[in-house]
A = this chain, B = another copy of it.
Amino acid sequence: MKPVTLQDIADQLGISVTTVSKALKDYPDVSAKTKALVKELATTLNYKPNAFAVNLRTKESKTVGLIIPVIVHHFFSNVIKGIIAEAEAKGYLVIILQSNERYDMEKKHLDLLMNQRVDGIMISLANDTVDFKHLNDVIAADKPMIMFDKIAKTVNCSKVIIDDRQAAYDATQHLIDIGCQRIAHFRGSLLPQNSIDRFLGYRKALRDNDIPYDASLVYICECDDLSFEEGQNNARQLLLDHNDVDGIFINTDLVAIGAISEFNKQGIKIPEQISIVGFSNWFMSSIISPSLTTIDQPGLEMGRSVFKQLYKEIQQLKRDEKVDYQQIVLPTQLIQRDSTLKVK
């Protein structure tokens, strides 16, 4: 059955399409009587405006795009949830694409969203991405875009992030505060800014406390699907390499949980022999034994904040105001649990 149009309503009431349109939108220059008549018939016929026509006229689709490195990931799926919730509240729908941590996909998806003429774009970069032309193209086209979590610092747009360096500093400082002297770090792969920043925070905390930095205490893991195993492997290797480590700051909870499982297996007592701090506050971290001290990374709030900023910029653009780029840094928090010693 064919959808009902304004024309159908106009025909049935013997009035013009113009008046029907205005009546439905409560224009002040339509008589109350006509409005009532139109609205009643619209309800009866279950009239829904044709979104395609409205989009073409208004040049906006009330749809935004999201490009994310991976969906199946606790932190990112929380971000998605936050974005969708906030978007829905403002009457926007969200198209989601996954780059799979690949630059070529990310670029292609950005193109798809631009061609679809979404009203705005939210993006967290692939580990792969080192060239930013595709991002600058979006900005040059005056399309509102917000970067979050995995960002390119040099691209001129709004960003929502956590202070990875400070959070890592806090994590390391906590280990120092409870008395650790030889502190290892399991870091992420070399490229993404996050793992660099977390490493820098770790190193700065050591420096500020006059603890010598020892590169042999830093273990790298790629943090892909194998992170749990990488945690186990690094823990095993650490025990072979060093016998004096009393604390580890680990880049991601899943890796930390792998490490804990290996230490448990080998009879290393946590936190008595080695204290461990993770990063992200995954829901399993409060559940495992011993529960994991970690940095809470607020995914849901990040998602909300990302959409809110995008919405603000869409409004500014519509009103021809100057778009006001923001760098929003969300607070993180150290959650102390049983994998680190209590007090000193």
Interface residues of A (CB under 8 A from B): 1, 48-53, 55-56, 59, 61, 63, 71-74, 77-78, 80-81, 84-85, 88, 93-98, 109, 112-117, 141-142, 225, 228, 258, 261, 265, 283-284, 287, 289
Nearest neighbor of A228 in chain B, beta-carbon distance: B287
Nearest neighbor of A105 in chain B, beta-carbon distance: B88
Residue pair A97, B84 in contact (C-beta under 8 Å): yes
Inside 8 A of A59's CB, which chain B residues have their CB?
52
Residue pair B1, A117 in contact (C-beta under 8 Å): no
Inside 8 A of A95's CB, which chain B residues have their CB?
63, 93-96
Residue pair B71, A74 in contact (C-beta under 8 Å): no
Inside 8 A of A56's CB, which chain B residues have their CB?
50, 52-53, 55-56
Nearest neighbor of A55 in chain B, beta-carbon distance: B52
Inside 8 A of A1's CB, which chain B residues have their CB?
141-142
Q: Which of B50, B77, B113 makes the CB contact (< 8 A) with A71?
A: B77
CB of A225, distance to nearest CB on chain B (Å): 8
Inside 8 A of A258's CB, which chain B residues have their CB?
287
Q: Give the interface centre of A56, A72, A98, A142 by most chain B CB atoms within 10 Å.
A: A72
CB of A292, distance to nearest CB on chain B (Å): 14
Inside 8 A of A116's CB, which chain B residues have their CB?
51, 63, 93
Q: Give the distance in Å from the alpha carbon of A80 to the alpha carbon of B77 in the complex.
A: 11
Q: Give the distance in Å from the alpha carbon of A116 to the alpha carbon of B91 in the complex.
A: 11
Given contacts A56-B56, A71-B80, A95-B93, contact A48 B142 (CB under 8 A): no
CB of A80, distance to nearest CB on chain B (Å): 6
Inside 8 A of A142's CB, which chain B residues have their CB?
1
Q: Give the distance in Å from the alpha carbon of A61 to the alpha carbon of B85 in the complex.
A: 23
Q: What are 15 A-B contacts with C-beta separation under 8 Å? A: A50-B56, A51-B117, A52-B117, A55-B55, A56-B56, A71-B80, A71-B81, A72-B77, A80-B96, A81-B98, A88-B112, A93-B95, A94-B95, A95-B96, A261-B287
Nearest neighbor of A58 in chain B, beta-carbon distance: B52
Nearest neighbor of A70 in chain B, beta-carbon distance: B81
Q: Which of B52, B73, B265, B283 makes the CB contact (< 8 A) with A61?
A: B52
Inside 8 A of A261's CB, which chain B residues have their CB?
287, 289
Nearest neighbor of A109 in chain B, beta-carbon distance: B88
CB of A57, distance to nearest CB on chain B (Å): 9
Residue pair B55, A84 in contact (C-beta under 8 Å): no
Inside 8 A of A78's CB, which chain B residues have their CB?
72
